[in-house]
Structure 1
Amino acid sequence: MARQQLSRERVLAAATELADREGIAALTIRAVANRLGSAPMAVYHHVAGKDEILDGLVDTVFAEIDEPVPGQPWRPELARRSRSARAALARHPWAAPLLDSRRRPGHATLAQHDAVLGTLLSDGFDLPAAGHAFALLDAFVYGFALQEAALPFAPDTIEAGAQEIVAALPDGSYPHLARFAAERIGPGYAFGDEFDVGLELVLDAIGTLRAAVPGVPR
């Protein structure tokens, strides 16, 4: 079978797979080249270096996030976009700290930011309010993704893990934590369920920034 030709798209795909599998710290030109079965110099024909790969990875993640549609009601559009962003960050747990870090944003990154601002600006938010709303929403989504990725237990073992931690504590210590673990973290509990509750609270807060539009609820 003929060897597949190297391209920028293949380099970025290999880099994404490597970061997903081993974390962003493992991302080097040599590691990407090894994953492609190629020489590092061949990779340099398609990307100038690690910084360009990181630019491309960030754009790859933004391309996976549903864009809100300017002109449509802001709340359902940004709720849909937020849930899509959380899902993308769950697939790529290394990505949250990088998403707003690049000085050379790609098309998907720019289009995503433009669509969020357009959705807010076309539905009653002025420029300062749109900026506040955008920052708050991403702080919540990115922060939740970081917290979710850092949990020391898999979703199906969180109940047992919480009970194990509490059982190791001295009797009578941290009573509120013990009660929470005993009464809240039981069968069927999923930390991820906290996302939608938090998202609705954040959207409620964002709604207070919006100018009053006659006949239209915030």
Structure 2
Amino acid sequence: MSSADGPAAPASARRGARSGPPLTRAQVLAAGVALADREGLGGLSMRHLSAELGVVPMALYKHVADKHDLVAGMIDLVVAGYAAPPPGLEWRDGVRRRVLAARDALLEHPWLRPAIEAATERTPAVLAHMDAVAGELAAGGLSYDLVHHAMHALGHRIWGFSPEAFSSPVPPSASPGPAPSSAEQEAMMTAMAARFPHIAAIAIDTVARHPMGACDEQFEFEFTLDLLLESIARLHATGWASR
């Protein structure tokens, strides 16, 4: 049914119409974070987000230029919320607290890692976190030469993740087809030990220490972080300088 002003809006659109004050960019970004938390980046679209907010898709473009700008703003929103360490900490503790705060956010928002890996710009919020980590190092008296190389060594760890040489095994329930029998598993392990003895030894030791056979990702992350910080401290103590 239509009127002199044109076709009536579909009932679904009328039911989802937003009421109240106009949207702000902060509301759009917060809604984007909530949607990505539930459905991942794959479920995030301007149309889906507009439906969540009860507005037409074009209304979002007053606040974000496109999906790229939306995701960049979402990254900034999360990064700006990283918990800062209390003042007065020894520099290694300060860096550790900042890095683990970033990891906490990453575990809370699983979409954040692929978003950061795909990002092509360093926004003010991103630069502020990098500057804060570098500032903790510099506050410990490290030369900016060593701070520079320490930041390279920390790499993606300042965002709470790192590339791993060993990926977690796929749970049996997620594997296609029937699980191998005990005899088949033993035969596979024997063949692997013959061809890749050290990898097999690591796998055997891991299973012995962890019945589920999986690495403890949080432990591995903190182990490497502490190893790096201790090594950086030793270089600082010797007055290291790059060549």
Q: How far has the Cα of 1:178 moved from its partner?
A: 5.1
**Residue 103 (structure 1) aligns with:** 121
Letter in 1 for 2:25: R
Structure 2 counterpart of 1:90, from 97, 107, 120: 107
Q: How does 1:171-182 map to 2 (within 5 A)?
A: 171=187, 172-175=190-193, 176=200, 179-182=204-207
Is 1:89–1:95's contact at 8 Å kept on the other side of the alignment? yes
- Structure 2 gaps of 5+ residues are 1-17, 174-178, 194-199
Does residue 1:42 correspond to 2:56, yes or no?
Answer: no
1:169 counterpart SS class: helix
Alpha-carbon distance in 1 for matches of 2:48, 2:79: 24
**Residue 186 (structure 1) aligns with:** 211
Is 1:74–1:123's contact at 8 Å kept on the other side of the alignment? yes
Structure 2 counterpart of 1:169, from 185, 190, 213: 185
**Residue 28 (structure 1) aligns with:** 45
Percent of aligned pairs with the same residue?
Answer: 35
Alpha-carbon distance in 2 for matches of 1:40, 1:72: 47
**Residue 200 (structure 1) aligns with:** 226
* Residue 181 to residue 114, structure 1, CA distance change in 2 (3 Å): closer
Structure 2 counterpart of 1:137, from 154, 159, 162: 154
- Structure 1 gaps of 5+ residues are 159-163, 214-218
Letter in 2 for 1:174: M
- Provide TM-score, normalisation by structure 2: 0.68
RMSD: 3.3
Structure 2 counterpart of 1:3, from 13, 16, 19: 19
How many correspondences in the alignment? 202
The structure that has the greater radius of gyration is 2
- Provide TM-score, normalisation by structure 1: 0.75
